Structure 1
Amino acid sequence: MESQLVRAAEILESASSVALACHTSPDGDALGTMLGLHHILTSRGISAVSGFPSPLEVPPHYAFLPGAESLTAQPAYPAAPEVMVTVDCGSIDRLDDLRPSAEAARTLVVIDHHGSNTNYGHVNVIDPSAAASALIVFRMARERGWEINSDAAMCLYTGIATDTGRFQFDNTTPEVFRAVADLAEIGVPIAPVSRTLFEEHRLAFMKFLGRVLSRCELDAERQMVISWYDQADLEYFGVTMPETESVIDFIRQAKEAEVALLVKESAPGEIKVSLRSLGGIDVASICVERGGGGHRMAAGYTSRMGIHETIAELKMAVGAAMSERGPTA
């Protein structure tokens, strides 16, 4: 991985322009990494554009990130970039309408920490041991002596804070704390950023959340807690899909469950799945088999079935994974 990191850094240093992209429906690490690298490059005098697949809707709790207001979508996104960098994107399929740009790029660099990454770039900087893709960019900047200004620091901090679950997940390593201390010294206002990221929700969302939580069911045999929502729920409460990213984090708090499942109708007829695990079950392997990806403890995919059919299938999949694992102490 180190040789690939060096090669990627050299490509970026010699580029006159770079197109940056992250996966569809981006989370904090995807947006934070992309925008953090954007600010690092532009501070070095390199022209950069950043975007993600349509619809270009930034979740409200990430709207404060410097640069989030000036993202580029199709058809304005470069059709055949000199250099294109994708971040936190495990497969080219997750680029949706930006995929043609990636395929036409003269050089495609992939920066990611998903073990399920398909190595679809010309240069692939993949480190599954990294807590966040933002941490890989932080390493690259420090190793190459690139300046991390306050805007870049804010974005990279967001990526690390969100993918470590506010520094609570087991990927919160000493390296994470050293990087965050460095970013804090640059000037990240941790208290207001943390409140914006994790503690600010519209009342409409809180009422919506109440409905989703009221639907939670416990499958005691499989140690699963399960819920769902559809377009009617979103419309009734006036909530948008980007606002709902954190719902799975409330569901996974059920003490009785080892696996949390949330099935979502993100658009009419489009069913998305979020799975979380305490670590005993590898939910990434379940999602990869269905065209998705992620990590052992957090993964997702788009289902071709309805909500309740998807739930039934995943109960079977989790049950099979538990049987394969065998009894735990």
Structure 2
Amino acid sequence: MGVNWKAFVDQVSHYQSFVLVSHIRPDCDALGSELGMAEVLRAIGKDVRIINAHRTPPALSFLDPAGNIDVLGDSVEAEDVKADCIMILDTSAWAQLGDMGDVIRASRADKMVLDHHVGEDELGATMYKDYQAEATGQLVVQAADAFGVPLTRAMAVPVFAAIATDTGWFRFPSVTPETYQVIARLMEVGVVPSEVYGDLYERDTLGRLKLRGLILSRTTAELDGALVYTYVKKEDFAACGAEASDTEDAINLTLSVRGTQAAVIFVEQLRGGFKLSFRSRCAMDCNEIARQFNGGGHKAAAGAFQEGALADVQDKVLPVVREALQRALA
């Protein structure tokens, strides 16, 4: 079921000022949907501020060349987060909001969510969700259409990056004919896919390359190669001269191994604990697995977080993945 755009437009019309928020460790869909929605709202005369709990990864800074995204505790303090409405994009989970979650809980502002992920927490917000959408960036384009706002290059570049990356550069089964129709519209207002691809994938640092080599060298295969998994320790970032954000999309490299049906990566966070990422190219449901560890996402891709040492987290998570994969392949 898609978004009720009439209700969305009606609700937005009641507010003048907005704060846009997305998830911690922001990726292209988080940043792209925020930046695109900000342009849509400004086009209809709204006051908009984007505030995230985590800084924009250096590799994605090209999406926000003017530095319009504020960071809680850096360029803005909690008491300064004021608006008629807080709009949360690309997540519906408290755990994904980081320190902005506390700000949202304490705020008297109305809350809205625009998201495409399956599953949700009670955020005290009006939910506008489409589980079939390939990216929240796609929903931003639909929002622009609902408001009658013409697409511009300023909207289109971040939204293109959102859709392109959340579909694995149009390789995932979530891609539909409508995906390409939207991409054509984005190109018509100035997006050059080769330039966005270059900004995303052809500006690697030596540290990023070294870290990815380490991740690949640790890859372990089980179940006759159907399952692969690997890990990153927090000390690896300094050893390789890499950023924490350099693990983004690393799990997809393991799926290039012939015969692989599912992959897991365990990424230790600088504050401790492990971010878990799950991928599936079969009937195994990553979202169902992630939900067992207080996470979520989609059938083909999902994430979660677990406290503990690497061995303990692996001992807890891998048996669940093995069982789910064996069921899917039976």
Aligned length: 325
Q: Which one-letter code corresponds to 2:48 in the other structure?
A: A
Partner of 1:308: 311
- Structure 1 counterpart SS, 2:63: coil
Query: Post-superposition shift, 1:11?
Result: 2.4
Quick one: structure 1 residues 105 and 184, their matched pair in 2 at CA, closer, same or farther if it must change by over 3 Å? farther
Instruction: Tell me the distance in 2 between the aligned counterparts of 1:243 and 1:68.
Output: 22
Q: Which one-letter code corresponds to 2:55 in the other structure?
A: E
Partner of 1:28: 28
- Structure 1 counterpart SS, 2:62: coil
Partner of 2:239: 236
Partner of 2:158: 155
TM-score (norm 1): 0.92
Deviations 1:277-314 (A, max 9, x none): 11321111111111111111111111122212222222
Is 1:263–1:274's contact at 8 Å kept on the other side of the alignment? Answer: yes
User: Aligned runs of 1:101-180 on 2, under 5 Å?
Assistant: 101-103=103-105, 104-118=107-121, 120-180=123-183
Deviations 1:74-114 (A, max 9, x none): 25254453111000012123112111332324311100001
Residues 1:184 and 2:156 aligned together: no
- Structure 2 counterpart SS, 1:147: coil
Instruction: Tell me the distance in 1 between the aligned counterparts of 2:5 and 2:286.
Output: 28
- Structure 2 counterpart SS, 1:312: helix
Residues 1:225 and 2:254 aligned together: no
- Structure 2 counterpart SS, 1:64: helix
Q: Which one-letter code corresponds to 1:92 in the other structure?
A: W
Q: Which one-letter code corresponds to 2:59 in the other structure?
A: H
- Structure 2 counterpart SS, 1:69: coil
Is 1:84–1:105's contact at 8 Å kept on the other side of the alignment? Answer: no
Deviations 1:234-260 (A, max 9, x none): 111111111221211212222132111
Quick one: structure 1 residues 88 and 282, their matched pair in 2 at CA, closer, same or farther if it must change by over 3 Å? same
Instruction: Tell me the distance in 2 between the aligned counterparts of 1:73 and 1:31.
Output: 12
Is 2:295–2:302's contact at 8 Å kept on the other side of the alignment? Answer: yes
Instruction: Tell me the distance in 2 between the aligned counterparts of 1:279 and 1:102.
Output: 37
Is 2:43–2:149's contact at 8 Å kept on the other side of the alignment? Answer: no
- Structure 2 counterpart SS, 1:155: helix
Query: Post-superposition shift, 1:323?
Result: 4.3
Q: Which one-letter code corresponds to 2:43 in the other structure?
A: S
Residues 1:288 and 2:291 aligned together: yes
- Structure 2 counterpart SS, 1:171: coil
| Greater displacement, 108-117 / 98-107 | 98-107
Quick one: structure 1 residues 214 and 3, their matched pair in 2 at CA, closer, same or farther if it must change by over 3 Å? closer
Query: Post-superposition shift, 1:5?
Result: 2.7
Query: Post-superposition shift, 1:201?
Result: 0.9
Is 1:264–1:307's contact at 8 Å kept on the other side of the alignment? Answer: no
RMSD of the TM alignment (CA)? 1.9
Q: Which one-letter code corresponds to 1:73 in the other structure?
A: V
Query: Post-superposition shift, 1:212?
Result: 1.3
Residues 1:277 and 2:280 aligned together: yes
Is 1:79–1:100's contact at 8 Å kept on the other side of the alignment? Answer: no
Query: Post-superposition shift, 1:8?
Result: 2.0
Deviations 1:167-189 (A, max 9, x none): 11001101110111001101112
* Structure 1: runs of 5 or more not aligned: none
Deviations 1:108-142 (A, max 9, x none): 11000011233634321111000111111111211
Residues 1:7 and 2:4 aligned together: no
- Structure 1 counterpart SS, 2:275: strand
Q: Which one-letter code corresponds to 1:52 in the other structure?
A: N
Deviations 1:213-249 (A, max 9, x none): 1111101258211111112211111111112212112
Instruction: Tell me the distance in 2 between the aligned counterparts of 1:19 and 1:52.
Output: 10
Instruction: Tell me the distance in 1 between the aligned counterparts of 2:3 and 2:146.
Output: 12
TM-score (norm 2): 0.92
Instruction: Tell me the distance in 2 between the aligned counterparts of 1:301 and 1:48.
Output: 30
Query: Post-superposition shift, 1:326?
Result: 5.8
Residues 1:70 and 2:68 aligned together: yes
Q: Which one-letter code corresponds to 1:44 in the other structure?
A: I
Partner of 2:101: 99
Query: Post-superposition shift, 1:146?
Result: 1.4
